[in-house]
Structure 1
């Protein structure tokens, strides 16, 4: 009896899976994601070089966004070279610099490159990377590409996820804030290798990336615990996170010296709702306070986004995704463009 059930169930499942693969390959094409690799020399993840594809968002995607991974494994139209013949600016960040949510030529680093054709604008973005990993990336970037100026893009979850005590993963560098603070570098990328394998299935890509199904399921399962623990975690870790942020900024500055600009994302929920019933990110508040105390240069996009939204009432992200859309990237590029003209290339 059991054997008959197996003989009936397995072929049925395989046929159903095959039909789903056809559906999400042809009729509702699933999002395509570049494969990642682990750089053993520099202890960081980036993309496998020379790939291209289309990223999409949502149940029935209306748009596809072109991505192109260059010769060094980063989402950028242009190839990167170690030999430097022009003034070189490096842009470092997470998924906001990776910028799969817009066409590769619409990301703010690409827009900056068009605005400054006589300079090299090299972007280095990898999804999920926290502030602590930017330090590891900057070590790699400084040794291999020797930029003249660094721009570090910082968003809301970059602060707390930098602590080893809060994010034990084998993918990104994190910081142990013990008596003798130390950066913990990853030793592999087993999680990302698994994603590479699963991404071969259009069905997996559709549920995982387009519908964000597994993330939503995880959030539902963990919702009660996270709601109960968030306040306690915030209270217990705020001082430790402030300490960690300070150490990371100092560590980055030992490499970049004064040739460094932080670009800090704005609280767009607050901007869209005129500040009504929106939680303030006190990690960002602490971060900016530390930057001021250390006399570090920064752009707070709260000011940029608020002024723009008050004038035009155009959102900087789509309704499906909180990442910047093409208008958001354009707005950020204009702000950084002005800074470069006035403060960097003057």
Structure 2
């Protein structure tokens, strides 16, 4: 058999399966699908690779009102129980192409299949469930759609989890089902709960090696104390980041090093408060709220000149990432001028990413170099 790479593949090749796995595992999925048709032996090796990490995306519309890709994949997993131990990653994302979602959308059959499939995927190391509008249709007394799926699931090797769905007034909220689930994940290092807006209620000794979290200020404040979280990404409104929240965010067993504020508009006063409570921050990614203008007399990127007084409060900052901030009008000379100005205010700075997405790095001769 000839491949697209001009190589003749002989299905009766006598190499061990372990060697075939090493040969095949870096090939594109489209090539693996062809290899799986060569022989039973090649099919067995290729299938294990194809199923090792599954990513599914369903876009729901009037003409396609249910997540059929997810349902077909779950049915395939249920039928191929010999592959379940090979599946280490399972990532599902649903979204609607219209807002508000159509009343014709039907999630129940797929939710049932998804629940059944996850019950047997006990070797998972990474799980993502973003179920888009699936939580809209449930009544307010029903469980959150994510909780309906994860309740009773067992994942002793899970390292990374991301759970959520779109929310609207009247949608079900999370309950202690989520708390119970998270409390069972002793191997978890990375957690994302973008649609959870209240405090979690977890045992103090749960999630002992958690190192990164993405979620609301209230959820973060309930989770971080007593845990070795070094990376934090906040979502929501910066008005929710009050003094009590900041005090709890500072109660990790290891200092927070990376702070991602790209999913909220952040006022300069919040940055000053963060610097006071989280002095070990080395990487800061932020979307500035320019409605609170840093310098009224300036326009364009020179608006950011007023950031100097804020940066002077960060004593360990190495990388400032302003790429999520929207500022019109910039050139290399203006950016380099700001680099020099900000370094005088914050001597620890070594890397700056501007709203233009151009990155500047401080060289060994103390001059700033553009990485464009």
TM > 0.5 fold call: no
Relative to the length of structure 2, the TM-score reads 0.25
Relative to the length of structure 1, the TM-score reads 0.26
Name the structure, 1 or 2, with higher relative contact order (CA <8 Å, separation 6+): 1
Structure of higher CA gyration radius: 2
